[in-house]
Each structure stands twice: as structure tokens, then as C-alpha cells.
Chain A
Amino acid sequence: MNTAAHDDHHGPEKGLLRWIKATNHKDIGTLYLWFAFAMLIVGGALAMGIRAELLHPGLQLMNPHFFNQLTTMHGLIMVFGAIMPAMVGLANWLIPTMVGAPDMALPRLNNWSFWVLPFAALILVSTFFMEGGAPAFGWTFYAPLSTAFAPDSTDFFIFAVHLLGFSSIMGAINIIATVLNMRAPEMRLMDMPLFVWTWLITSFLLIGAMPVLAGVVTMMLTDRNFGTAFFDATGGGDPVMFQHIFWFFGHPEVYIMILPAFGIISHILPTFSRKPLFGYSSMVYATASIAFLSYIVWAHHMYATGMPVAAELYFMYATMLIAVPTGVKVFNWVATMWKGSLTFEAPMLWALSFLFLFTIGGFSGLMLGIAPADIQYHDTYFVVAHFHYVLVTGSLWAIIAATLYWLPKWVGKMYNEKLAKIHFWWAMISVNVLFFPQHFLGLAGMPRRIPDYALQFSDFNWISSIGAFAFGLSFILFAYIVVDCIRNGSPTNSERPWYSAKGLEWTLSSPIPYHSFNTPPSRAQILEESQHS
């Protein structure tokens, strides 16, 4: 066994090679996070294009086909390029430090999970420059739009999805192996922090759902190029079958994006409430219940597609059930703050705003989950408002909160609190100006995925677009805050920049050493830092 000697002479490589050959969980986490931010900017730029076109009624900037390419690629890039990689990046940075491990379980595989992504993104974005343009059938790529009537670039899109799925599966396997095998020997499962729990459960969603996505795009590929008839009624197949297989992936996918966010919020609220998390074990069980339910509710995305009534009823009631564990979570978060000594540093502001805005998204989700009501809401801007409230003010909010909360620990320097507060209020107000009117637009009947609209929708669209431009600009400030913290931040004077923070990651020196834990923490230390009181 030569690992001791091994560790000593083995620091980061110099220059670009450090990143290309990276096997260190923090280096790979950094790669993931910067990649996600770059994709967020690309996807955000596409959204600006969408909102610029929708600023006024009529067609001003682009033809409808290009508009459809923008909505499609915006969705794909944000889901697969921004939110998911950002969550994996946070997992890479945090999980080894939270379970008392030196690194991820399979470091080389970890490198591969990341380095597949830039290539996949390149293939995906390159479709814009191909003949016939980028995929224009919406991020859900329903057949037959994506099979019989799609541009040639669709095959490139299919392979990009294969690569992205491959990356996610490998990442999930790595996280499972890390949590189950690299955890400090003295740490029991019910001692694990919630971010670790939520990511462990998310990993099981990933390895269950992503292969099904690979399967469905493979069927698309053969339908398009080899004459199979999976989604073609003239051959005995069914386009509705596409939707079933897609949403069998697609519904767990939305929980893949939100469960780690739940974990993050469960860390930040106790710290700034100066109280232990309320109901630790019920949080774990609620997360697991949500994950289980997410596999058996997929057809609530398809009420308007057509299904036997019994199936609609089943999917409706099963969907309503999700509100129970989610309610448990929201209750616990509120109870965590109850009678706490609250302070409102930037991460707490983001977490609190998550609580309010995500809950709005959850309620509009309940409305959409009711089959007879959904027939009215289906494919309107109400749906757009709903999933942006859960994904932007849910997942993305948690990612920003996590960045501000843990960055001082990662780099040993504090960000500019004043700027961070300005950024918070800027983003918080503009995002509501952007998405809240979309509820009204949807209820009034404006369909989604259209470049032009009837005149009565003009005012709210104008407001929404103004909000969008302001929200888009706020990310320049966010980038500045992060870079400024890394370069010029004042050194934190303690290992716990938030003195009330608990968790093994705060016991490490600041900035976190290259190999996180060389010696596993003791039972006493684990209990001292655990989230259950």
C-alpha cells in the first residue's frame, strides 16, 4: 500500500492539464460549475431572444421557425446544460466533504462524466448552424414532430442526448458509490446531511430514468433513419407511445432537478435560524417518497393527449399524493425557522425566497395536476409560469444560494455582502416581473411556443419581457460577485464563515485542502456536526 507516499507528492498539475486530467473532486466540481454557468448564459441569451420577439405582438425579429428553435434549445440547454451539471458540480464539491471522504469513489469516471459534457454541448449547439436549423419541436421532442417532420440536425441532437445521458448515469453511479462506500466508517445513514441524502436519492432517479431517455431517442433514431414504426400509426405504433416513454423519463427528471435543491435549502435555513433542522428523519422519508411517486405519475403531462378515463383518474390522484411529502418538507422548513434567531445574509435571502416562490410553483403544479382543470391550462403560458417558478426560483435559486453559502468555505474568502444583497433584490423582483404575469396570460388563454399573439395579451407580455431583460442582466452582477470573491475577497477569519453552520465540511481548514479528509472523522465529531438534534 503506497497511498501515503502517493498523496504527498500528488498535488494539482499546472495550467490547463490540471483541468483536463483532473481526478480531484473539487477540480471536477469547479469544472462542472463553470460549465453550467457558461451554459446558463447561452440558454439565457436564447431566452432573451424569445422575450425580445414577444415584447410586442406581431413578428419583429425572427421567423416563426427560428423562434421555435430558440424555445427548443433554450429548454434543452437549461435542463441538460445548466441545472443538472450545476447540481452535479455542487455534489462533487460537497459530498466528499460532508461524508468525511478524501474524494469521490471513482475519480477517473468522475473526470469522464464531466468531459463528455462540453462535447455534447458542442454537438447540440452546432445544430443551429446546420441546414434546416436546430431542432424546433420543443424540448419534449414529441413524435411525429421529431421523427417525420424534423430537420436533419435532429440526429445530432439525438446523439448529444445520448452523451448527456451517459454523463448523468456515470455521475450518478459515482455518487452512489461515494455515499455508500466512502462515507466515514462511523457515519450511519441517518447521520448523513440532507444534501447527501437528497443526492443519493436523486442518483437512483438518474440511473432509473436516463437510460429510458436513451431508449426513447434510440427509437426516434431508428424511426427516422431505419424505417421502424414505434411512433408511426401506419406501422401499428403510436405517437402517444412516445409521450409515455418520454415522460417516464421526464417526470423523474423534474425531481432530479429539484431534490438536491431541497437538500441545499435544508442546510441554509437551520444555519441562519440558529436552530437544528426540524424533522430530520421525516425530511429523509419525504424525499424518498417523492422520488418513488415521481416514477408513477408521468402521464399527468398528457391529460390533453388522450387516455382512458380510468388512467386519467389514477394519474391525477397519484399526482395529488406528491403534495403530501412536499407539504411535509415545506412545513419542516417553516418549523425550522419558528422561534429561531433569524438573520438575513444573502444565502438566507435566497433560501427564504426559494421557500415562497417554489411553493407558488408547487401550488400552480397542483392546479395543473387536476385533470379536468388541466384540459384548460394545457399548453398555455400558465404551464410556462409554473415550471419556471419551480425551476428558476426553485432549482436555480438553490444553486445560487449554495454558491454564496459554501463559496467562502471553498476558497477561504468572503464575497461582497452588499453587492450580493443588491443582486438578490434585483433578481428577486425582476424574476417575478418576468414570470408572474405569465400566469395571467396562460389563464387568459395565450398558448405557449408561439412567436406572435393576439392583441389582448400585449401588456402582460411587455411587462414580462422587461422583467426578462432585467433578470438576464442580473447574472452579470452574479458573475462579478463570484469572481470578485475568488480574486479579491477578504479572507474569512474562521473555519466557519457562518458561525452557526453545522456539518463536517466546516471542520476542514479554509480553503478546503486538496484531499478533503485523509483521516475519517470520529463518531463524536459526526454526531456534533449532524443535522438531527
Chain B
Amino acid sequence: MSNQDYYVPHGTYWPIIGSIGISTLFVGFANLLHDVSWGGPVMGLGGTIVVFMLFGWLGTVVNESVGGIYNKQVDRSFRWGMSWFIFSEVMFFAAFFGALFYARVLSVPWLGGAGNNLFTPELWEGFKAAWPLVSTPGAIGQNGTEFSVGFELVDAWGLPALNTALLLSSGVTITYAHHALRNGHRNALIAWMVATIALGVLFLGFQITEYGHAYHEGLRLTSGVYGSTFYLLTGFHGFHVTVGAIMLTVILYRIQKGHFSSENHFAFEGVAWYWHFVDVVWLGLFIFVYWL
């Protein structure tokens, strides 16, 4: 029959379980948004099913991988899959960066009367276009008076700069971990992995602290387009760092279990790629959200 080492897996229940989980999560969430009492619990149930699915599905893949079923071709398919998945994530962030650039370069100046827009001064007397947009046109309208939504800006060269250093260092430590893995230095590998995770967690801790500051200084999701872009960009990034840190922890656990060899460790590399992606997105955030 077959003289080629193609790998075609058995049928599986995990995708349909995943679909049920993710749909339950979304239906629960949508109901929660409209104050339906069962929305929250149903959302929690959906989330639980998704986590269950992830454990089951990835567990199967791990067992097959450790069992030596996969060949080089499967490994390459995983590599293509992971790289283009990361690219799609980049495009997701691109939508929010696009919104930031559009607001900053076009819509806010236009609101301030740029581009021969004669109507703004009539509609919102006293509105001045500036970035960051500390006072929105709506805030003026609501009070009939001067600016009222003011907030203090986060200083780029405080915590954000420190966080940049932390994430960049974690990119270095995970590369050291990879070298250790390739050279079979197990203890060094574990040490560099622990360092990477610690840097990631530290980053998240500082990010939470900084959110606390920003909130205390009056910056809210509802503070207009600056708050919208600030919180959604940094929030989605923080979420990706959290996911990345969880994946790194799983990889550390698998290292302890002895799942990886110096040649065969795609799961490690895939997570490392993801970690670098999170790193690069942060650089974009640091430059365009905090610094410039």
C-alpha cells in the first residue's frame, strides 16, 4: 500500500468540542453584555470547555509527538501553520495601529478644523486638536464649558521604558535557552526558561501597576479616542503576553518531562516565535503609544 511516510491522523472529537466551547463562551458573553443573569455562568462554562479542549487536543498532539509518530513533513506543516498564524495576529494588531494612526494623523486634526473643515469651530467652540487628545469635543458639549476629561499622560521613560528593557531581555534569554536546548545543556536551559518567564511575569506586573497609575490619573476607556487606542492596544498586547507566558510555562513543564531532544523541539520554537512576536508588537507600542 503505502511506501511513503505520510501521516494522516485518526478522526477526532476535539474540534467539535472546541466549537461548542467557543460558541458557548460567546453566547454567554453577549448575554452578559445585555445583563442577562445566566450570561456570566454560561460564559464561564464555555471558557472551561475551551480549556478542556486545549488540554485534550494539545495533549494528543504531545503524545503523538513524543511517541515518534510525526515525521519531518508534519514538522514542516506545523512550522508553516505557526508562522502564518503569527502573521494573522500581526494583522489583528495592525487594525488597531491603523486606528491609532488614523485618529492621530487625520480625524483629530480634522475635528480641530484642519483640511478646511469649517464646521468644527461652530459645533464645538473652543475645541483644540492635540495629541494626546486630553479633551474630547464631546466633553465640551456636555458641560457647555471648558475641558473636563483631562488626564495625566504616562511618561514613556518611566515604567514603559523599563518594560521595554524587560521584554527585550526576555527575547535574549529565550534565545540562550534555545542554544542550551540545541547543545543539550539541560540545567542552563531550565535556568534561561525560568528567567524568561520571570521577565514576562515582571513585565505584566509593571503593566498592571502602570494601568493603576493611568486610571488614577483619570485615563479611562471612556476618555475618548486616546483612551480607546491606549487601552485596547496595550490590553490586547498584555493578553498576548499572558498567553505567551502560559505557553512558556507549559514548555518548561515539558522540558522537565524530557519531551524535547536537541533536534526535535518544534513546540519550543513555536512558542519562542510567538514570544518574539509579542516583543516586536511591544516595540511598536512603546514607540507609537508611549513615546512619540
Contact = CB atoms under 8 A, between A and B. Distances in A.
Q: Do A and B come from one complex?
A: yes
Contacts of A228: 221-222, 225, 227-228, 231-232
Interface string A212-247: 101110110011011111101111111011001100
B26 A163 contact: yes
Nearest to B149: A235
Interface string B81-97: 10011011111111110
Nearest to A174: B81
A298 to B, nearest CB: 11
Given A10-B10, A108-B14, A222-B228, A177 B108 contact: no
B286 to A, nearest CB: 20
A234 B8 CA distance: 55
Contact of B84 (A173, A223, A233, A234): A173
Contact of B27 (A156, A172, A182, A518): A156
A120 B29 CA distance: 15
Contacts of B22: 116, 119, 163, 166
A286 interface: no
A18 B2 CA distance: 23
B228 to A, nearest CB: 4
A102 interface: yes
Interface stretch (A20-28, A362-370, A476-484): A20-28
Interface in B3-33: 3-16, 18-20, 22-23, 26-27, 29-30, 33
A116 B92 contact: no
B62 interface: no
A211 B222 CA distance: 25
Contacts of B220: 227
Among the interface residues B19, B133, B220, which one has the most CB atoms of the partner chain A within 10 A?
B19
B76 interface: yes
A181 to B, nearest CB: 5
Given A235-B136, A236-B224, A7 B1 contact: yes
Contact of B91 (A23, A208, A234): A208
B6 A3 contact: yes
A101 to B, nearest CB: 8
B228 A515 contact: no
Contacts of B96: 215, 219
A115 interface: yes
B99 interface: yes
Nearest to A214: B92
Given A8-B1, A182-B73, A234 B136 contact: yes
A519 interface: yes
A202 to B, nearest CB: 13
Contacts of A498: none
Interface string B78-118: 10110011011111111110110011001110110001000
B102 A244 contact: yes
A20 to B, nearest CB: 5
A17 B12 CA distance: 9
A236 B88 contact: no
Contacts of B4: 102, 518-520
B15 A3 contact: no
Given A162-B26, A211-B88, A234-B138, A180 B8 contact: no
Interface string B178-207: 000000000000000000000000000000
Contacts of A339: none
Most chain B CB neighbours (cut-off 10 Å) among A118, A210, A218, A241 = A241
A106 interface: yes
Contact of A1 (B5, B34, B226, B232): B5
B232 A181 contact: no
Given A105-B80, A177-B80, A227-B221, A155 B95 contact: no
A159 B26 contact: yes
Interface string B117-138: 0000000000000000100111
B77 interface: yes
Contacts of B138: 229, 232, 234-235
Contact of A173 (B14, B85, B115, B232): B85
Given A111-B15, A241-B103, A241-B107, A23 B221 contact: no
Contacts of A116: 19, 22
B262 interface: no
Contact of A236 (B2, B80, B133): B133
A219 B99 contact: yes
Nearest to B80: A177
A111 B13 CA distance: 9
Contacts of A159: 26-27, 29-30
Interface in B206-257: 220-229, 231-232
Interface in A117-145: 118-120, 122-123
A222 B77 contact: no
A115 B84 contact: no
A225 B222 CA distance: 11
Nearest to B97: A215
29 contacts: A3-B71, A7-B6, A21-B11, A23-B9, A101-B6, A102-B8, A103-B6, A112-B15, A112-B18, A112-B19, A120-B23, A122-B23, A152-B34, A155-B34, A169-B88, A173-B81, A173-B88, A212-B92, A215-B91, A223-B228, A229-B136, A229-B222, A229-B225, A233-B111, A234-B136, A241-B102, A244-B102, A248-B98, A519-B2
Interface of A: 1-4, 6-8, 10, 13, 17-18, 20-24, 101-103, 105-109, 111-112, 115-116, 118-120, 122-123, 152, 155-156, 158-159, 162-163, 166, 169, 172-174, 176-178, 180-182, 207-212, 214-216, 218-219, 222-223, 225-230, 232-238, 240-241, 244-245, 248, 308, 515, 518-520
Interface of B: 1-16, 18-20, 22-23, 26-27, 29-30, 33-34, 57, 68-69, 71, 73, 76-78, 80-81, 84-85, 87-96, 98-99, 102-103, 106-108, 110-111, 115, 133, 136-138, 141, 220-229, 231-232
Given A229-B225, A244-B102, A518-B1, 16 more contacts: A4-B3, A6-B8, A10-B10, A23-B8, A24-B8, A108-B15, A116-B19, A123-B23, A169-B85, A215-B94, A225-B33, A228-B222, A234-B141, A237-B224, A238-B107, A241-B99
* Ranked 6 nearest A-B pairs via Cβ: A215-B95, A234-B138, A21-B11, A112-B15, A238-B107, A228-B228
